[in-house]
């Protein structure tokens, strides 16, 4: 492109001029993608090891997604939830059949799914004579709406008070802390089986089983936030299946739509029965375009056995990342499940992320000193090898500069 806006710097200037400055954006504008690769407006190619933050599980412009969007857009895009939608019904049925939960509500995003999950949990708790308190985990991230940031730390809440009441935080993987925090005023415990923004921390099986038993004894509902770790990314269709623990409520988004915005709240029947007509709703959530795209995404993930692929590829990638410890003393730990991996360093990882970009690989710095790697599930071994090599070369260049 040769137009006035057809370069990274010009588009970055316009973005800073017109868009609300809530993102400290990297001055690169992507124009198109295919598979696990994207190209910027100046024609430079990148391997995408971020996948739009664990969204593009089938990569960019997968034929199944493109065909589903094209076909549905030519028939019917939106009708409101006053009426029945065939692709919504089909997607709801599929999610119930593969999840072991009983009901689905569709939203537009992950944070909307979390908000809805809290409403459902509180309605169920109040129907049983309990309070509406929500216990969340330290290092958690559940979104950026008010109730979602009420579950998080002070950094997320600063300037947005007063916070909604009824939220308590405890250490992750600490069953004793939850036992001490639970009371008759507690409606639910919410956690990510694999914490994403918090630095890729994985719950232990012992912890989750003990938590399930504790919730059963006390009547507190258990909410799994699988917005990032679900939809095949962790090596199973849902991370809960790795641990063999069924939550009362589960939230989904990110990979569900293959790039089209959609979220979902799944719950068990004993929770759903507290909800009545008008208790919750959405104008756009679950519209025909979004659900037809998500249905195509889910069917492709299942037909191509991409959960197993994520487990296999993730094991290979983790082994290669572990080898970096022998070459770079700054590599402290590699953790995660499937193709949701984090590498902890002894230094802040934003400079590393930028150095990788210069070498044509997209990743993400999170939790200050963790490099997050969440590529499309269709990434090839050759592309993963390049990612590892670029990480190593970038670390070496930073070590030389230090």
Query: Which one of 48, 225, 241, 248 is the catalytic residue?
Result: 225
Backbone CA torsion sign across 191, 197, 203, 207: negative
SS3 105: strand
Residue 218 is encoded by which pair of tokens? 């006390």
340-345 vs 331-337, strand pairing mode: antiparallel
Backbone CA torsion sign across 106, 307, 173, 137: negative
Query: Which one of 118, 141, 167, 172 is the catalytic residue?
Result: 141
Which among 336, 343, 344, 332 is positioned nearest to 310, based on CA atoms? Answer: 336
Residue 242 is encoded by which pair of tokens? 């790795």
- Rounded to whole angstroms, how far apart are CA atoms 20 and 336? 34
Active site residue 160: no
Q: For 128-263, where are the alpha helices, taking DSSP H only?
A: 146-150, 154-157, 175-181, 205-218, 240-243
CB 172 within 8 A of CB 220: no
CB 181 within 8 A of CB 192: no
CB 367 within 8 A of CB 199: yes
Report residue 167: phi and psi, to 5°: -115, 135
Query: Which one of 123, 240, 254, 313 is the catalytic residue?
Result: 254
Active site residue 225: yes
SS3 68: helix
Active site residue 174: no
Distances (CA, A) of 178 to 190, 206, 209, 240, 266: 11, 14, 13, 19, 23
Catalytic residue positions? 141, 225, 254
């Amino acid at each position: 492109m040769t137009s006035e806006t057809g370069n990274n710097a010009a588009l970055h200037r316009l973005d800073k001029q017109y868009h609300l400055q809530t993102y400290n954006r990297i001055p690169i504008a992507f124009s198109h993608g295919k598979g696990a690769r994207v190209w910027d407006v100046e024609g430079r190619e990148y391997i995408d090891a971020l996948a739009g933050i664990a969204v593009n599980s089938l990569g960019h412009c997968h034929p199944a997604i493109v065909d589903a969007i094209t076909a549905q857009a030519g028939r019917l895009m939106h009708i409101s939830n006053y009426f029945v939608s065939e692709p919504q019904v089909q997607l709801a049925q599929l999610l119930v059949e593969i999840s072991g939960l009983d009901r689905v509500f569709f939203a537009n995003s992950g944070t909307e799914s979390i908000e809805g999950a809290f409403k459902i949990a509180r309605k169920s708790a109040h129907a049983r004579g309990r309070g509406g308190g929500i216990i969340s985990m330290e290092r958690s991230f559940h979104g950026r709406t008010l109730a979602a940031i009420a579950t998080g730390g002070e950094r997320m809440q600063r300037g947005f008070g007063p916070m909604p009441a009824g939220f308590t935080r405890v250490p992750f993987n600490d069953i004793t802390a939850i036992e001490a925090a639970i009371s008759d005023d507690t409606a639910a415990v919410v956690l990510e089986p694999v914490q994403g923004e918090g630095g890729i921390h994985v719950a232990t099986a012992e912890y989750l089983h003990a938590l399930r038993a504790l919730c059963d004894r006390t009547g507190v509902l258990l909410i799994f936030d699988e917005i990032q770790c679900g939809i095949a990314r962790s090596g199973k269709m849902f991370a809960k299946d790795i641990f063999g623990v069924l939550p009362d409520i589960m939230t989904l988004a990110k990979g569900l739509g293959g790039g089209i915005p959609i979220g979902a709240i799944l719950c068990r029947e004993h929770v759903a029965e507290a909800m009545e007509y008008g208790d919750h709703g959405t104008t756009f959530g679950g519209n025909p375009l979004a659900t037809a795209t998500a249905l195509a995404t889910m069917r492709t993930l299942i037909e191509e056995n991409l959960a197993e692929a994520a487990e296999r590829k993730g094991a290979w990638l983790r082994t290669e990342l572990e080898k970096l410890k022998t070459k770079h003393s700054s590599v402290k730990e590699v953790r995660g499940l499937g193709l949701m991996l984090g590498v902890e360093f002894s230094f802040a990882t934003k400079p590393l992320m930028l150095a990788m970009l210069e070498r044509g690989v997209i990743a993400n710095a999170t939790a200050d000193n963790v490099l997050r790697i969440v590529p499309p599930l269709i990434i090839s071994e050759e592309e993963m090898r390049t990612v590892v090599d670029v990480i190593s070369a970038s670390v070496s260049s930073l070590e030389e500069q230090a």
